[in-house]
Amino acid sequence: MNKSELIEATAKAADISKAAAERALSAMIDAVVTAVAKGDAVTLVGFGSFKPVKRAARAGKNPKTGEALKIDATTVPRFSAGAGFKAAVSGKKAAKKK
C-alpha cells in the first residue's frame, strides 16, 4: 500500500473526503517527524512507537573498491511495533494484561 492508497482507505473508513484524509495524514506524519527529530518518542498505544536512536561510529568498507572507511556516529529513527499490531500481523489475539 502506498500513500495514495492509504489516503483512499482512510477517507473511505472515516467517511471523509480524500482531501481531508490527505491533510490529516500529512499532519500526522509531520507531527511524528518533528517530535522524533527533536529527540522525543511518539507512542501510539496498540500500534507502536517511533523514537530516535543513537548509532555509534564504526568502520565500514566501500563495496566497490574494498577500501576501509570511517562511518560517523549519527541519530536514526526507529519504529517498534506494538502488541496489537504484532498480533494483527501474526493472526493471533493480543495477550491480555493481568
50: domain CATH number is 4.10.520.10
Q: Which domain holds residue 67?
A: 40-90
What pLDDT is stored for residue 38 in this prediction? Answer: 96
Q: How many domains does the chain have?
A: 2
- Looking at the fold, whether 79 and 59 belong to one and the same domain comes out as yes
Using DSSP's 3-state secondary structure scheme, residue 18 falls into helix
The pTM assigned to this predicted structure is: 0.79
Residue in the block written with cell 568498507: 61
- Looking at the fold, whether 65 and 29 belong to one and the same domain comes out as no
- Looking at the fold, whether 52 and 33 belong to one and the same domain comes out as no
98 occurs within a structural domain: no
96 occurs within a structural domain: no
pLDDT digits (tens, 9 = 90+) for 28-81: 999 999 999 999 999 999 899 999 999 999 999 999 999 999 999 999 999 999
What pLDDT is stored for residue 18 in this prediction? Answer: 96
95 occurs within a structural domain: no
What pLDDT is stored for residue 92 in this prediction? Answer: 80
Residues whose CB falls within 8 Å of the CB of residue 79, separated by 6 or more in sequence, listed in order: 48, 49, 50
pLDDT > 70? residue 14: yes
Cα-Cα-Cα-Cα dihedral sign, residues 68, 69, 73, 78 = negative
